[in-house]
Amino acid sequence: MRAGFGLLARGFRLSAQFSGGSAIITTLKVPKTGGIPTTKASVLRWLKHEGDPVQIGEALVELETDKVSYELESPVAGTLLKIIAEESAQVPVGGKLCHIGEQGDTVPIESAAR
């Protein structure tokens, strides 16, 4: 079943200090969907690629649970720096999907889906 709505994600923000300045990287995670008991989601397809610019509210990835399919929207504007969960991956609720930041930002070293 495909839901006709997008879900604006509440991303997790990381603040990282680097020599020469600081960067704020947003880590997009699988959200807990209201009213639907689920423990994981499947990544059906990425709608954006690494290096693509993204806007607030723009659909980034299509996810599917055992009850519904939906597009997850970006909570911030920036650049899709790193896709962590590849297509067809099973990601637990709260698991990492991708990092969003500014072009040239360095993503955290531990970029494993959890």
Residue 104, CA distances (Å) to 35, 79, 113 in order = 38, 9, 22
Quote the number of domains for the chain: 1
Determine contact, residues 13/96, Cβ cutoff 8 Å: no
Answer whether 0.75 is exceeded by the pTM: yes
- Terminal-residue alpha carbon distance, the chain: 26
Tens-digit pLDDT profile for residues 36-77: 778 999 999 999 999 999 999 999 999 999 888 999 999 999
Measured between alpha carbons, how far is 2 from 70 in angstroms, rounded to an integer? 7
Containing domain of residue 26, as a range? 2-101
Instruction: Establish if 108 belongs to a structural domain.
Output: no
Instruction: Establish if 92 belongs to a structural domain.
Output: yes
Instruction: Establish if 82 belongs to a structural domain.
Output: yes
Measured between alpha carbons, how far is 106 from 96 in angstroms, rounded to an integer? 17
Rounded to the nearest integer, the mean pLDDT of the chain is 82
CATH code of 94's domain: 2.40.50.100
